[in-house]
Structure 1
């Protein structure tokens, strides 16, 4: 009898352990994300100013695969109540969205605040809170006012002041109702692709991306200091920037050093100045860029140095680590004369690195290679580099070009990636506090236009009412969010 009882008890304990391994901590939060240009539309309503995306796509539609733009997009400017309904129906904890800078400040400067723009975002925030959904607000998701781009944009040192002024206006309007803020979304892509002619403002420059890197990070720091000194004492919120990181691994043993340099160039360039104890640029990258610039005939490094005061300004400008992660790449040295393709997807031409994938990694649409273990590696890299920080996954998701509402590929992506997040939490003791699915709805997906679908909800872009329809992944994600467990059945769409 005792032996039988012990056996039954062991089975019960094993079952409990298995369930626990599939369950997130009670305080873990699930949310979804969008960005303003990708969903709002209403590009010229009221007194809204022109953004760099408005400007570029009206004169260069050819830069987008289907020649489309975000003039109407999902029409969320008018349909925001429907978007809130979708989020509430899934029982999610938060909604991450961005403010369109020229919608709020038509001139780009604080001399004019749009009443309609402030009303729109205020209504959205109030509507979310009324449904028990926390707003997570991004100040900059690539919607720079064209008026500021005409003055040099992020390559102008004054952009630091411009952004701080803008941030102060946003905090003044909404800090009483928003607890979590993202200053800059993905500085790597906000700087590199625009100055390689790929996305707005589509300027080709040998130094533009590196100048942008310095000033956009100082802008983040300036906005953080504004909040920390002027608003946090009263409201107690939290601020960070959304860091984007692929998982990089060497293709062969001889590519180890190049892989470390690639990680520094693409990722630590933005995280090290903020999260490291030393501050400044990553030493390996700084030395490499100084020598490369000298060889190329520059009198100083193309990667502009930080002053001691700037290093101090940047260090510690975070309340949590916000990470966007989608995919992985292997790294190898480029062959002589080899073409690199699009920055950050096929290669890093500044350091002579080619980015590829492994045959066993699955593939979503285009650039997104599916390697679930990559997200666990990235979470562990954060802990290894910077210590036991609070980490929020602020974007992660799957793309396809299908109209099939039973999107099993997307469900499998979320299931396998969230399994790896759980392993990072339970086995590696990484302090991950939340996960954000990209995206709530199918939207304008930058250079892919409307051909690439990331949404949990489909949008009929041929319908003037922009009808939203739940995919199977919406029901799956809802079940995970409500139960805080992966032990749910895959569900079909409504």
Structure 2
């Protein structure tokens, strides 16, 4: 009860801040359209645990954490994580308590196909995801499924992983199995999560599993094969499943927003945008297809100067360009941070995230001093970047549907009074509203990362993104809602950035916002019920 009162006081205090009152005065600018969807997300390795149970075999992150000293900052692993393999009903309840329209989660490749191939389908794994999906559907929450969130079976990595061209067929076979098993339940699919990260952080920086440092070679092979794998899965669904299930598919890109540093023109920032967003978007979303021409030209010329007989960026054939182009139903977009771009100084070292191959362009990334900082050195807070990135996507690829699949704040403090995260969500959602009403961007959904604290890859349990705090010292992995869970639940339930307590009525123009004062009070109490 004390905690309920504490959270209420925090949020009421925020409600009456000047910035919140200015939003109230702007009326409809704080209301999302009635068709806009809200959700939250997790990934299998980050929450499930049961790493070697119920027929599952190791994937690259299991092996990486267990065998590479110092690979994970706190020396931890995902063996138990949030124990969601056992506690999935708790996850469903949290999603229901928040009032989510959808819950995005991923399927672990080796939990379904222990050998990596479809010669044997693990029925225990199949049952786990089926029960999770059915549990969500029973409470009116749509399951949004990521087919690949970095969990390549180690058996396939031993054969070359994403640098082996056969991975395109291996992945396509896996995707077909999932479509066959779950397409009747799943209407929104993510083929690949953040290929920029699983290619660049692995091969350009060597920091992610499987930790193979091969800048300028391995990352480009991975990039090429990931795009072909995505396209093949999309075409399998399109030809074999769409007519019956009418679902949507796309990959999801993690895009940093880039602006020019002081004294530099926009061309330097535009080059990095093409290296980051363009490399993983232009082949799919542009009218002409293929690599971004400016990047293809630069790397070909640089390869020749370095003595390579061919470009290190393998070109697509005409058939491959046609095969990849147009393989989307929306644009999946993850956004966290931003940087300024400038030409590198002589001898400047560009080998740390987020310098994902910017040495190819001789460009350095820096931070604007006035941008907000988080407790993590890489995580600079720039809410305007999410709007500007979506506007850039619209300019480059037309008014395609954009679905924000991840956005959230990391901190290292487990406290429940996470007003910094409340502010982060409010400020970014404000930019999303401006994208809709001012820029005419066709953005249809928003996903808060993440539903709960989890295993954050090389950060282990150090970084905390959760709407719900997880006590990793507790054998039952107790989940407790933070202040941000209260706030996000209010946004989801009312379709508004402002807490229900700030209104006595809403306009009846939107069915999602046509709430009487009594309904507001009821919603207020429902949100409080999150806090047990």
Residue 89 of structure 2 is matched in structure 1 by: 81
Shift in Å, 1:346 = 8.1
Residue 323 of structure 1 is matched in structure 2 by: 333
Shift in Å, 1:246 = 0.9
Residue 415 of structure 2 is matched in structure 1 by: 404
Residue 258 of structure 1 is matched in structure 2 by: 268
Q: Does 1:479 align with 2:490?
A: yes
- Of 172, 176, 182, which residue of structure 2 is paired with 1:174? 182
In structure 2, runs of 5+ residues without a counterpart are 1-21, 503-526
Shift in Å, 1:352 = 2.3
Q: For 1:405-484, what aligned pairs fall within 5 Å after superposition?
A: 405-484=416-495
Shift in Å, 1:15 = 10
Question: 3-state DSSP class of the match of 2:447?
Answer: strand
Check conservation: 1:73, 1:444, Cα contact below 8 A.
Answer: yes
- Of 108, 111, 114, which residue of structure 2 is paired with 1:106? 114
Question: 3-state DSSP class of the match of 1:224?
Answer: helix
Shift in Å, 1:410 = 0.2
Q: Distance in 2 between matches of 1:132 and 1:441?
A: 20
Farther off after superposition, 341-350 or 384-393: 341-350
Q: Does 1:382 align with 2:393?
A: yes
Q: Does 1:155 align with 2:166?
A: no
Q: Distance in 2 between matches of 1:226 and 1:308?
A: 20
- Of 115, 118, 121, which residue of structure 1 is paired with 2:126? 118
Shift in Å, 1:467 = 0.4
Per-residue CA distance 1:205-240 (angstroms, 9 max, x = gap): 130000100000000000000000000010000000
Per-residue CA distance 1:59-105 (angstroms, 9 max, x = gap): 11411110001011011110100000000001010000000101110
Question: 3-state DSSP class of the match of 2:114?
Answer: coil
Q: Distance in 2 between matches of 1:191 and 1:309?
A: 23
Per-residue CA distance 1:301-322 (angstroms, 9 max, x = gap): 1111000010011010000111
Q: How many residues align?
A: 481
Check conservation: 2:468, 2:479, Cα contact below 8 A.
Answer: yes
Check conservation: 2:390, 2:435, Cα contact below 8 A.
Answer: yes
Q: Distance in 2 between matches of 1:349 and 1:407?
A: 37
TM-score, with length taken from structure 2: 0.88
TM-score, with length taken from structure 1: 0.95
Q: Distance in 2 between matches of 1:190 and 1:132?
A: 33
Residue 135 of structure 1 is matched in structure 2 by: 143
Q: For 1:16-55, what aligned pairs fall within 5 Å after superposition?
A: 18-55=26-63
Measured on the aligned residues, the alpha-carbon RMSD in Å equals 1.7
Question: 3-state DSSP class of the match of 2:316?
Answer: coil
Residue 216 of structure 1 is matched in structure 2 by: 226
Question: 3-state DSSP class of the match of 2:313?
Answer: coil
Residue 297 of structure 1 is matched in structure 2 by: 307
Task: Flag the 1:416–1:122 CA change in 2: closer, same or farther, 3 A.
Answer: same
Check conservation: 1:365, 1:452, Cα contact below 8 A.
Answer: no
Per-residue CA distance 1:1-32 (angstroms, 9 max, x = gap): xxxxxxxxxxxxx9998221100000100000
Question: 3-state DSSP class of the match of 2:405?
Answer: strand
Question: 3-state DSSP class of the match of 2:339?
Answer: strand
Check conservation: 1:340, 1:354, Cα contact below 8 A.
Answer: yes
Shift in Å, 1:353 = 1.9
Q: Does 1:187 align with 2:195?
A: yes
Q: For 1:86-97, what aligned pairs fall within 5 Å after superposition?
A: 86-97=94-105
Shift in Å, 1:344 = 2.1
Check conservation: 1:347, 1:353, Cα contact below 8 A.
Answer: no
Residue 205 of structure 1 is matched in structure 2 by: 214
Q: Distance in 2 between matches of 1:411 and 1:374?
A: 18
Task: Flag the 1:309–1:460 CA change in 2: closer, same or farther, 3 A.
Answer: same
Shift in Å, 1:458 = 0.3
Q: Does 1:332 align with 2:345?
A: no
Farther off after superposition, 267-276 or 363-372: 363-372
